[in-house]
Amino acid sequence: MSENNIKPSDKHVDQDVPVTGNNITTEQASRQPAKKVRRPLLEIRNLVKKYGDVAAVNNVDLTIYEGEIFALLGSSGCGKSTLLRMLAGFEQPTSGSIILDGKDMSVLPPYKRPVNMMFQSYALFPQMTVAQNIAFGLKQDRIYKDGIKKGFFDFGKRLSRDEIEARVDKMLKLVHMEEYRERKPHQLSGGQKQRVALARSLAKQPRLLLLDEPMGALDKKLREQMRLELVNIIESVGVTCVMVTHDQEEAMTMAERIAIMNRGELIQVDEPRKVYENPNCCFAAEFIGSVNMFESRLITSDRNGSVIRSKDLDHDIHLDIDVDLADGMDVTVAIRPEKIYIERSFPVDDKGRKMVNNYTSGIVENIAYMGDISIYYVRIPSGKIVITTLPNADRFNIGLPTWDDQVYLSWDPESCVTLTF
């Protein structure tokens, strides 16, 4: 079984503890900061939510670890909010279970769950001050030890006025809003409203924080600034967090692991780097970043390597690994644009010999200048457009291919990901 190939049966199976992910190579593992082995906090098992005949959430199996920031990523309508609302208790599952700290939460109403949700609209009370908004939940509810009601006779306790005051102060400090405690929501900027909403969500010290499109109401520049600030705040209180977003950059910068969701199902659950470098299917490969896909057929594969033939390429793709699939099988080879070399001269290997595989000729049809990089659209002899990127390291663009240039594209065997569905 090669690293690039994940059996169809691995779908839905969520990967294990971040530290011990199945197929992290030593090289990848060594680049990651050392992480503690974590305890599972939330276990979602065979969770289904149907609206009529349509399954908005379909057979989701997922384990979230204590202290983890986890992102559900998917396009609009794929079921992200429905999944989140079931965790919060606003929606009843059709079947399956939601276990938090070893206890089944599915039967508990929202206010009895040690879970808090921050809505995209923030849902702040307009007539209340910042401090009153943060104190609201603390005044309303009883507070249980560890956030969980333990049995019928556990009545928890109401916080005293002083305790509430102290908790509000602490939250204001946490989100750097001490000076704004007497303001009303309409006197705050978008980013400030978001901080207040976050403070209010964290005031009851939930075990699990749910964020539905947390930056949805902010403009692009502010979204980018708030990402790391939000992560810092969440990490400083150590709360476990499940967030939902349709923005892949947001998911990748904020979360330790992400789940790609499509039509109610989890397609791949992994660290951002692994989802990008080792997508487990064509959907995952195309969903994150851009990618060149070559529809191909596996000619041979054994421990000496694999030969793959694409109708779009004049020369075969040769891999150093055994892809461990049946000869003659249809496969798709995915190559990320930044892993394709583009040059005007005929490509040579590291020993200076002319390459015979893993390359194609082409004509530069278009160049998109993005500032840091340029994206080249190269038409290869089959008519297919291949995308490749070059960093604009040289300010004056000296020596880079330009429009209508005849070029060669080539790639390393390790850059190819072989996909079967």
Q: Is 388 near Mg ion (CB under 5 A)?
A: no
Other C-beta atoms lying within 10 Å of the C-beta of residue 96: 17
The three-state DSSP-derived secondary structure of the chain is CCCCCCCHHHCCCCCCCHHHCCCCCHHHHHHCCCCCCCCEEEEEEEEEEEECCEEEEEEEEEEEECCCEEEEECCCCCCHHHHHHHHHCCCCCCEEEEEECCEECCCCCHHHCCEEEECCCCCCCCCCCHHHHHHHHHHHCCECHHHCCCCCCCCCECCCHHHHHHHHHHHHHHCCCHHHCCCCHHHCCHHHHHHHHHHHHHHCCCCEEEEECCCCCCCHHHHHHHHHHHHHHHHHHCCEEEEEECCHHHHHHHCCEEEEEECCEEEEEECHHHHHHCCCCHHHHHHCCCCEEEEEEEEEEECCEEEEEECCCCCCEEECCCCCCCCCCEEEEEECHHHEEEECCCCECCCCCECCCCEEEEEEEEEEECCCEEEEEEECCCCCEEEEEEECCCCCCCCCCCCCCEEEEEECHHHCEEECC
Residue 88 or 138: the one with the smaller Cβ distance to Mg ion is 88
Q: Is 56 near ligand ADP (CB under 6 A)?
A: yes
Q: Is 58 near Mg ion (CB under 5 A)?
A: no
| Stretch touching ligand ADP by CB under 6 A, among 74-82, 130-138, 303-311, 344-352 | 74-82
Residue 5 or 81: the one with the smaller Cβ distance to Mg ion is 81
CB of 80 to ligand ADP, least distance (A): 3
Q: Please list, in sequence order, all residues whose beta carbon lies within 8 angstroms of the beta carbon of residue 413, skipping any fewer than 6 positions away.
A: 305, 317, 318, 319, 320, 321, 358
**Partner interacting with residue 74 (select from Mg ion, ligand ADP, none; CB below 5-8 Å by kind):** ligand ADP
**Partner interacting with residue 204 (select from ligand ADP, Mg ion, none; CB below 5-8 Å by kind):** none
CB of 266 to ligand ADP, least distance (A): 12
Q: Is 76 near ligand ADP (CB under 6 A)?
A: yes
Q: Is 82 near Mg ion (CB under 5 A)?
A: no
| Stretch touching ligand ADP by CB under 6 A, among 77-85, 160-168, 310-318, 328-336 | 77-85
Residue 72 or 409: the one with the smaller Cβ distance to ligand ADP is 72
CB of 302 to ligand ADP, least distance (A): 43
| Stretch touching ligand ADP by CB under 6 A, among 72-80, 224-232, 248-256, 385-393 | 72-80
Among 4, 15, 58, 81, binds Mg ion (CB under 5 A): 81
| Stretch touching ligand ADP by CB under 6 A, among 70-78, 99-107, 337-345, 362-370 | 70-78
Q: Is 292 near Mg ion (CB under 5 A)?
A: no
CB of 69 to ligand ADP, least distance (A): 19
Residue 212 or 312: the one with the smaller Cβ distance to ligand ADP is 212
Q: Is 306 near Mg ion (CB under 5 A)?
A: no
Among 5, 65, 80, 177, binds ligand ADP (CB under 6 A): 80
Q: Is 74 near ligand ADP (CB under 6 A)?
A: yes
**Partner interacting with residue 79 (select from ligand ADP, Mg ion, none; CB below 5-8 Å by kind):** ligand ADP
List residues binding ligand ADP (CB under 6 A). 51, 56, 74, 76-82
List residues binding Mg ion (CB under 5 A). 81
